[in-house]
Each structure stands twice: as C-alpha cells, then as structure tokens.
Amino acid sequence: MSFIIAAVVSVLFLVADQITKYIVTVNMTLGESRPFLKGLIDFVYIYNEGGAWGFLKGQQWILLTITSVIIIVFITVLIKYGMSDKVLFWSICLVLSGGLGNMIDRLFRDGKVVDFLHFEFMPNFPVFNVADCAVVIGTGLLILYFVLETVKENKEKKNSLIKAEEKTKI
C-alpha cells in the first residue's frame, strides 16, 4: 500500500507543480512579487534559465541532457531495486516527479523554468517551485535510505564477527 501511496503522491506533486506554475503565469506578471505567508513565503514570478541556483544558466541542452540521464538512471534503479525498500521507492518517485516537472518547463518554455516560491526570511535564497520541493524531499529520503542501509550493513558485519568469534571459542 505504501508503494501505491508514494506513486500517487508523486503524480500529485507533478500535477500540483504544473497547476501552480500555470496559475502564476496567468495571474502575475514576470518579476512581480506578492506576499503569501507574511514573514515566511512570498510569490515571486521569475524564469530560471539554469539549474539549481542558476547553475549552467542558458545551457538548456546540457540541463535537458543531465535531467534525461538522471531520469533514465532513476527509472532503471526503480525497476531493479525500487520495490525492495519503501524509503528508496518514495525517494525515487519524488525525484522523478520533480525532475519531470522542471523538464516539462524546459521543453515547452524555451528552456526556462517557472519559479515563484521565495523564503521572505532568507532573502538571498533562490526562488523555487513545487518540482524543486519534490526533488529536495526525494533527495533527502535517498540520503536517509543510504544512511539506514549503511547502519544495517555495519550491524550485520558486527553480528557476523561476533558469531565468528563465538565459533572460534568453542
């Protein structure tokens, strides 16, 4: 059931990303800023022509290639290992959802991604969107997965060593 919920949540992230971008582009002018949650979040309508923090600005073909490779790798991992662990499945689904959301923009908005969420309390933090949130959450879960797997492997190694020592004492 958790796998189904993860897939549905990921699709909802993708849909929410595209709907919110549409609403912003229809109801705001480029460069416009509106308060949303006073002191927390503003809506600031901008185009990001690069990746995270504007990295590779104007290099849409490189960004599309990188995103495509990441999507292919994540789909491959999802097919091969994704069903073996819920945290891994969730992380892959969310990263794919966010990556697809921003890729849709790059393909249909001349290489530009609509960003509109801005932390008012962090004025120098980049403006972002719902797809970026999905990628960050998914990446955080992926890191958690690897940490949990490392801890699990270390426990198993420790238990194997203890059992081996016990056998040599007998």
From CA 34, how far away is CA 104, in angstroms rounded? 25
Task: From the candidates 17, 42, 105, 115, give the one annotated as an active-site residue.
Answer: 115
> Contact at 8 Å (CB) between 80 and 127?
no
> Contact at 8 Å (CB) between 146 and 22?
no
> Contact at 8 Å (CB) between 44 and 29?
no
> Contact at 8 Å (CB) between 142 and 88?
yes
Q: Identify whether 132 is a catalytic site residue.
A: yes
Q: Where are the beta strands (DSSP E) in the chain?
A: 33-37, 41-48, 113-119
Q: Identify whether 17 is a catalytic site residue.
A: no
* Catalytic residue ranges: 115, 132
